[in-house]
Structure 1
Amino acid sequence: MTSNVEVLRYTAFTHDPAGGNPAGIVLDARELSDGEMLEIAAEVGYSETAFVTERDDEGRTFRVRYFAPAAEIDFCGHATIATAVVLAERLGTGRLLFDTDAGRITVDTEIDDDTLRATLTSVPTRSRPAGEEELAEALAALGWSRGDLDPAFPPHVAFGGVEHLVLAAASRERLADLDYDFEALRSVMTRHGWTTVNLFWRESDERFHARNPFPVGGVVEDPATGAAAAAFGGYLRVLGTGSDEFTVIQGVDMGRPSTLKVSIASQDGRTRVGGGAVPLEVSGGGHTSSYE
């Protein structure tokens, strides 16, 4: 059955096919089993593929599931943006509702300067200080020391649909030099239930640089991570620091620059994360060098 399934390929948080984070999109997955969706995601090879498994009669509410090459993920931000752009191209702009394993996600689509953009509103966010054991295990797997961290931003575990360990690099050079133990970090993250590790460096209160290892999904690194950006907004809200609106620059060190526009979590604990998405012209499975 999987050989007959149409998989669209878009890259999110960019308007350039050479940038952003690629996502697979299956608009009609009603007849696919869990195993078949996982098989398709592995064949596509991107960090996530989104599967639309149900839609309401009016066509604006959808059940969406996300599969990485190695596992199902409760929520994926970049695949949400890509799927919303694809649906808006077919249905027209406006509000879409995605029912995910993490909860209902509202996505607003619009034309901005002749470009189609989507902005998701996350489920309520939360953030807590990372435990000493959690931190020590993660730093060891990353090959980082406590001196590599920016003391202005305490390590946290933040949630914006899925959980992420959040660590602030003391310098841009430390962030750029990422060479971690894949199996060791995957083991640590699996034990603690983290989807990615959100490594970031503050250029200013309005501009952050980020990298997101994703070994639990079978992926070395994500070039753009909307779920982590949503959780990061919640993290900054808990700390009471930063600007209400900021930009996350990601993927630069991978050669796939991405731009995520973020509005810090509101009083109800939700974060808005927006960006564009464009189609990819690829052949075969669409694998890139960032995947194991």
Structure 2
Amino acid sequence: MSTTAETLRYAAFTDAGAGGNPAGVVLDATGIDAARRLAIAAELGYSETAFVEPTANDGTYRLRFFSPRAEVGFCGHATVATAVAIAERHSPGVLRFDTAVGEVVVRTTADDTGILATLTSVPTHTRPATADELAAALTALRYAEADLDPRYPPHVAFAGNDHLVLALRDRAALAALDYDYAALDRLMAERLWTTVHLVWAEDALTFHARDPFPPGGVVEDPATGAAAAAFGGYLRELDLVPLPARVTILQGADMGRPSRLLVDLGTRAGGVDVTGTAAPIE
């Protein structure tokens, strides 16, 4: 039983070895209670830290996530970081994570560039944002309805957590993001949204994204695997991309941490595959 924890630091969803989203990973959190896990996450200061508990079954782990403020049901980038850390210490293969939102399967493979991890989310679903939700979000984000791209309707998309999806007409509006942190924090707490997934479509299969993340105690997340999975489910359910498809999400560039997330969509409903790399932070 572990009562002290070695916290590893990884950047997940790096782009050509740079950028990515930092995550903490505690590979054996057995015996560490929730209060201590929250304290570790707060001390580290990343948007999420993953806490792993081995089980009696090889390749199967209990996995919980904590932001500096609270436990989070699911976190994509910390899952990828955890999978890569385990694969580096054992060998690539299939990992099964028992999370608060259900089982998440991650396949790890190795090539000349390192270890690649592909997570399959829980089944996705999406619904239109209400008029009140949209009005409150736009006010907090300091955008107007005229800033939105009408090809992509405002929705609340789910892949383990809820994410408000808003598409902007042009890249400049995305780059100019400057929102009311307190107002958006209150709205997201009320609606139980994990991030707001703001996107701009470079083309039909390439999107630039920014993710305000007040629930995690940070202004913005540089790479958000859970939001990428939810967005993929949204694109599939609303027939916004030809299927099957691989969607590329470029995130974090506006905050100096370029990140690349690959989202694979099949023709059947269910989970969404999100692929990325992770590297230790020296």
TM-score normalised to the size of structure 1? 0.93
**Deviation at 1:264?**
2.0
- Residue 21 (structure 1) aligns with: 21
- Residue 288 (structure 1) aligns with: none
**Deviation at 1:17?**
6.1
Does the CA contact (< 8 Å) of 1:10 and 1:278 recur in 2?
A: yes
Change (3 A) 1:97 1:266: farther
- Residue 81 (structure 1) aligns with: 80
User: SS where residue 245 of structure 1 aligns?
Assistant: strand
Q: Which runs of 4+ in 1 moved over 3 A?
A: 15-18
Q: What does the per-residue CA deviation read over 1:4-37, in whole Å, with 9 as the maximum and x for residues that have no partner?
A: 4210000000166640000000011111111100
- Residue 129 (structure 2) aligns with: 130
CA distance in 2, matches of 1:221, 1:61: 31
Alignment map for 1:129-148 (pairs within 5 Å): 129-148=128-147
Which residue identity is paired with 2:248? T
Which residue identity is paired with 1:9? R
- Residue 254 (structure 2) aligns with: 253
Give 5+ residue unaligned stretches, structure 1.
282-292
User: SS where residue 29 of structure 1 aligns?
Assistant: coil
Which residue identity is paired with 1:198? H
Q: What does the per-residue CA deviation read over 1:78-117, in whole Å, with 9 as the maximum and x for residues that have no partner?
A: 0000000000011201100001001100000001334211
CA distance in 2, matches of 1:17, 1:234: 27
Does the CA contact (< 8 Å) of 2:3 and 2:30 recur in 1?
A: no
CA distance in 1, matches of 2:280, 2:15: 9
Does the CA contact (< 8 Å) of 2:149 and 2:168 recur in 1?
A: yes
CA distance in 1, matches of 2:217, 2:16: 25
Does the CA contact (< 8 Å) of 2:4 and 2:32 recur in 1?
A: no
Which residue identity is paired with 1:233? G
- Residue 164 (structure 1) aligns with: 163
User: SS where residue 160 of structure 2 aligns?
Assistant: coil
Q: What does the per-residue CA deviation read over 1:215-260, in whole Å, with 9 as the maximum and x for residues that have no partner?
A: 0111100000000000001100121012411100000000000000
Deviates more, 1:193-202 or 1:241-250: 241-250
Deviates more, 1:17-26 or 1:208-217: 17-26
User: SS where residue 151 of structure 1 aligns?
Assistant: coil
Change (3 A) 1:181 1:3: farther
CA distance in 2, matches of 1:174, 1:15: 23
Which residue identity is paired with 1:110? T
CA distance in 2, matches of 1:123, 1:114: 28
CA distance in 2, matches of 1:210, 1:193: 20
TM-score normalised to the size of structure 2? 0.96
CA distance in 1, matches of 2:98, 2:158: 17
CA distance in 2, matches of 1:277, 1:266: 28
CA distance in 1, matches of 2:23, 2:7: 10
User: SS where residue 273 of structure 1 aligns?
Assistant: strand
CA distance in 1, matches of 2:151, 2:41: 39
Does the CA contact (< 8 Å) of 2:127 and 2:156 recur in 1?
A: yes
CA distance in 1, matches of 2:164, 2:15: 29
CA distance in 2, matches of 1:152, 1:127: 16
Q: Aligned-residue CA RMSD in angstroms?
A: 1.4
Which residue identity is paired with 2:264? S
Change (3 A) 1:78 1:201: same
Q: What does the per-residue CA deviation read over 1:197-222, in whole Å, with 9 as the maximum and x for residues that have no partner?
A: 00000001121100000001111000
Aligned length: 279
Alignment map for 1:38-77 (pairs within 5 Å): 38-52=38-52, 54-77=53-76
Identity %: 57
Q: What does the per-residue CA deviation read over 1:135-157, in whole Å, with 9 as the maximum and x for residues that have no partner?
A: 00111000010011001110000
CA distance in 2, matches of 1:149, 1:22: 30
CA distance in 2, matches of 1:150, 1:26: 41
